[in-house]
Amino acid sequence: MKFIHTSDWHIGRTENRASRQAEFEAFLDWLAVAVDRHGAEALLVSGDVFDSATPGTRSQELYYRFLCRMAASPVCRHVVIIAGNHDSPSFLNAPRELLRALRIHVLGRIGEDREVLELADAEGKTGLIVCAVPYLRDGDVRLAEAGESMEDRETARLRGIRAHYARIAELAGRKRDELGADIPIVAMGHLFVAGGRRNEGDGVRDLYAGSLGLVPADVFPPLFSYVALGHLHAPQKVDGAGTIRYSGSPLPMGFAEAGQRKSVCLVECAGGKAETALLDVPVFQEFLRLSGNMAELEEGLRSLARADSGAWLEITYRGEEIIGDLPARLEELVAGTRMQIRAVKDARLLQTLLGGIHAGERLADLDVLEVFERCLDGHEVPDAQRPGLRLAYREILASLESPEEEAGAE
């Protein structure tokens, strides 16, 4: 039986307050077509369907509209959805009974007998057994005990996760034995498997601090032909054989993932083996990072404009010169183009402000004139310019101290 594995849609996610609704819509349209075109008889969604535990009505509308489309698909007979750490288990579970009538199985939280699903093939016989294990919350796998250390807690949690997968695998194995046929068993999960790759700022919310929360890949019994994972946003395989996999998010989760290829997994299980192919998700909205001094940024933006780019931009200014109206100047450069600036960073300013404070000092310990002197030093402002800048600074300070007079003078 062929199926598509995807995860981490994060419907409702925004980028610096800008809506990404159009991208979610385009992705779900593309996915509905891909499912039919590739003959996928099932769709497995491994968590983080929504970005928030309380999705907005537009996000919900998209989700249900997509599910309706799946229910009407002439090819795809089953949808299995598990909750991720971003999802609200009760929100996902609320329409569960209704969705089940449409052969859409939702696992918001654990429930052992419900986690083992038999998916029927075109002839109505079980063609695939799916162990749909949702994101395991602390309370699902272990009981908190007073006075236990971090290590104790971690050990108990890992033991709990291992035991849970072992139990579910045993149930699935028994079910297969009852059916008396060589039916492939696949598992789903939303967790951070040790060895998994991630990028700084990729929007993956840490489950636990530091290395805590990493789960060794051997928690998945060899009985599983394939493990469809969610949580990490870069598509990747966890084991050498490539049968334990993260599909990755279908959309870049912020500028840290700008330019990265996104995909869903098309999997075919037969005879205990899984064949996997990646289906590239089209780029619905380009994310681009630009950095350099003013001349480089101007050149970069001009050449993008010539190419009629519609990218969303994160711009980092690295010039020596101080530019007071940096965001406004950059906006001017993209005016009349299809590009949109989503974030502006001033590396120079940041470095100076963070680097100008010495160890053991607090900003509050310095007076305003001292702070200004540090800024002059930090920016390596030539001596000849300093008297003029000091004078201007004092005038600004004076105007701040007597705002009424300033207003009256206007």
Q: Which of these ranges, 4-12, 28-36, 131-139, 282-290, lies near Mn ion under the rule CB under 5 A?
A: 4-12
The residue whose Cβ lies closest to Mn ion is 48
**Of 203 and 221, which CB lies nearer to Mn ion in the complex structure?**
203
User: Is 196 in contact with 236 (CB distance < 8 Å)?
Assistant: yes
**Of 43 and 128, which CB lies nearer to Mn ion in the complex structure?**
43
Q: Which of these ranges, 44-52, 133-141, 313-321, 378-386, lies near Mn ion under the rule CB under 5 A?
A: 44-52
Binders of Mn ion in range 209-268 (CB under 5 A): none
83 sits in the region (left: phi over 0; alpha: psi -120 to 50; else beta) called beta
Per-residue string for binding with Mn ion, 191-210, x by CB under 5 A? --------------------
**Of 15 and 268, which CB lies nearer to Mn ion in the complex structure?**
15
Nearest-approach distance from CB 8 to Mn ion, in angstroms: 4
- Write the single-letter amino acid at 319: G
End-to-end CA distance of the chain: 77
Strand order across the beta sheet in which 287-292 lies: 287-292, 312-317, 340-346
Q: Which of these, 57, 81, 88, 54, lies nearest to 67 by C-alpha position? A: 81
Nearest-approach distance from CB 129 to Mn ion, in angstroms: 26
Please tell me the count of residues contacting Mn ion according to CB under 5 A.
2
- Find the helix packing angle between 347-355 and 368-378, rounded to 10°: 120
* Alpha helix (H) residue ranges in 230-367: 294-306, 326-334, 347-355
**Of 99 and 253, which CB lies nearer to Mn ion in the complex structure?**
253
User: Is 66 in contact with 39 (CB distance < 8 Å)?
Assistant: no
Sole binder of Mn ion in the list 15, 48, 314, 346 (CB under 5 A) = 48
Nearest-approach distance from CB 163 to Mn ion, in angstroms: 25
b/e sequence 373-410, b meaning 16+ C-beta within 10 Å: bbbbebbeeeeeeeeeeeeebeeeeeeeeeeeeeeeee
Measure the CA–CA gap between 297 and 317, rounded to whole angstroms.
Answer: 8
Nearest-approach distance from CB 21 to Mn ion, in angstroms: 18
Nearest-approach distance from CB 193 to Mn ion, in angstroms: 14
Nearest-approach distance from CB 79 to Mn ion, in angstroms: 19
**Of 84 and 221, which CB lies nearer to Mn ion in the complex structure?**
84
Measure the CA–CA gap between 271 and 263, rounded to whole angstroms.
Answer: 25
Cα radius of gyration rounded to whole Å, the chain: 27
User: Is 329 in contact with 296 (CB distance < 8 Å)?
Assistant: no
Question: Is 8 a residue that touches Mn ion (CB under 5 A)?
Answer: yes
**Of 8 and 115, which CB lies nearer to Mn ion in the complex structure?**
8
**Of 184 and 252, which CB lies nearer to Mn ion in the complex structure?**
252
Answer positive or negative: Cα dihedral of 267, 286, 46, 159. Answer: positive
Q: Which of these ranges, 48-56, 192-200, 237-245, 380-388, lies near Mn ion under the rule CB under 5 A?
A: 48-56
| Positions of E strands within 12-139 | 14-15, 18-19, 42-46, 78-82, 104-107, 116-120, 126-132
Nearest-approach distance from CB 249 to Mn ion, in angstroms: 6
**Of 8 and 41, which CB lies nearer to Mn ion in the complex structure?**
8
**Of 5 and 348, which CB lies nearer to Mn ion in the complex structure?**
5
**Of 190 and 379, which CB lies nearer to Mn ion in the complex structure?**
190
User: Is 190 in contact with 246 (CB distance < 8 Å)?
Assistant: no
Q: Which of these ranges, 23-31, 47-55, 87-95, 115-123, lies near Mn ion under the rule CB under 5 A?
A: 47-55
Nearest-approach distance from CB 231 to Mn ion, in angstroms: 6
Nearest-approach distance from CB 373 to Mn ion, in angstroms: 46
H/E stretch holding 93 reads helix 89-93
Nearest-approach distance from CB 253 to Mn ion, in angstroms: 7
Q: Which of these ranges, 45-53, 54-62, 212-220, 352-360, lies near Mn ion under the rule CB under 5 A?
A: 45-53
Residues near Mn ion (CB under 5 A) are 8, 48
